Amino acid sequence: MNILVCIKRVPDIAGSVTLDDTGAGIDESGLGHTMSSHEECAVELAIQTAAATGGTVTVLTLGPAEAVEQLRAAVAVGANDGILVEAADPSVFAPEDIAQVIGDVIRDRAEAGQTFDLVLTGDDAADTGDFQVGIRLAYDLEYPVLTNIQTISASGGDAIEARGIGPAGTEIFSLDLPAVVAVHEGGVDPRYPSITGRMKAKKAPIVEYDAPEPGTGSPRIRLELPEVKASSVTILGEGPEAAPALVDVLEEIGVIRP
């Protein structure tokens, strides 16, 4: 099974987040970059599935030239090669534009003899949270699609079994290929690259395309940061004298009964 995984270069926002001057994006100055956690799990699922079926894994991203770093990170953990659709400012691309670009690349690779049985995306990207690319891509390719999937396994030469968490619990699907699956984190643990993997990634082939002008353009007007809730600390006392006050608090929050 030959698998394409679509990833995105996003700011590493482990610390505090601020918005840029437009208010429509994250201020990335001084931040490192990574790929979204959903996409890390998608890469891991692809590697496991390809290994079980004797297939290959290709990773694709639309982003600046620096996004090759994320492609090589995926190769370092087991992907075979990468595709960079270079766009100096990927923020001007709407989810519809991105899906169209990916679809065009898939069709171009098919004409060149490289076809993909399965296309994986993340459920959403960590910086924009659009939740749209996988569905729009499937519509463009006229493929079936599943979202919020945590694990997949090959159930035959032309189908997969996919599992995700729905409102009533675990949901199990059988999906004919070719197909698009949007992956949600939590079903697998992404692996760490080995030294051999890092060395391989440096030499891995990366096919490059120039991104076209976006047809729709980003509809995003602005982002809003949630208000930081103020916290307070109450000192109950020191030593044995604090015990009665601690009991009162435990009774108040229902930990113990009066």
Instruction: For the chain, give the mean pLDDT.
Output: 89
For residue 125, give both structure tokens.
């990207």
Handedness of CA 190, 195, 197, 202 (dihedral sign): positive
pLDDT greater at residue 49 or residue 215: 49
For residue 217, give both structure tokens.
């353009």
Q: Could you read off the pLDDT of 160-187 as tens digits, one per residue? A: 999 998 888 899 999 999 999 999 999 9
Task: Give the range of the structural domain holding residue 137, as residue numbers without chain letter.
Answer: 3-210
Does some domain include residue 252? no
Dihedrals φ, ψ of 216, to 5°?
-95, -45
Work out how many domains the chain is built from and give that number.
1
In degrees, rounded to 5, the angle at the alpha carbon of residue 66 between the alpha carbons of residues 63 and 71 is: 75
Does some domain include residue 234? no
List all residues 6 or more positions away from 54 whose beta carbon is below 8 Å from its beta carbon: none
Does some domain include residue 83? yes
Helices of type H across the chain: 37-53, 68-76, 95-111, 133-141, 195-203, 243-252
Does some domain include residue 53? yes
- Tell me which residue has tokens 């001007």: 92
Whether 218 has a pLDDT exceeding 80, the answer reads: no
Q: What is the mean pLDDT of residues 215-228?
A: 75
Whether 203 has a pLDDT exceeding 70, the answer reads: yes
Does some domain include residue 248? no
Residue 97, helix vs strand vs coil = helix
Q: Could you read off the pLDDT of 229-254 as tens digits, one per residue? A: 777 788 888 888 888 888 888 888 88
- Of the candidate ranges 53-57, 92-96, 220-224, 236-240, the one whose mean pLDDT is the lowest: 220-224
Does some domain include residue 253? no
- Cβ atoms of 80 and 200 closer than 8 Å: no
CATH number of the domain bearing residue 182 = 3.40.50.620
What is the pLDDT, as a whole number, of residue 16?
66
- Cβ atoms of 62 and 211 closer than 8 Å: yes
Does some domain include residue 87? yes
Does some domain include residue 13? yes
Burial tier of 75 (Cβ tally within 10 Å: 0-12, 13-18, 19+): buried
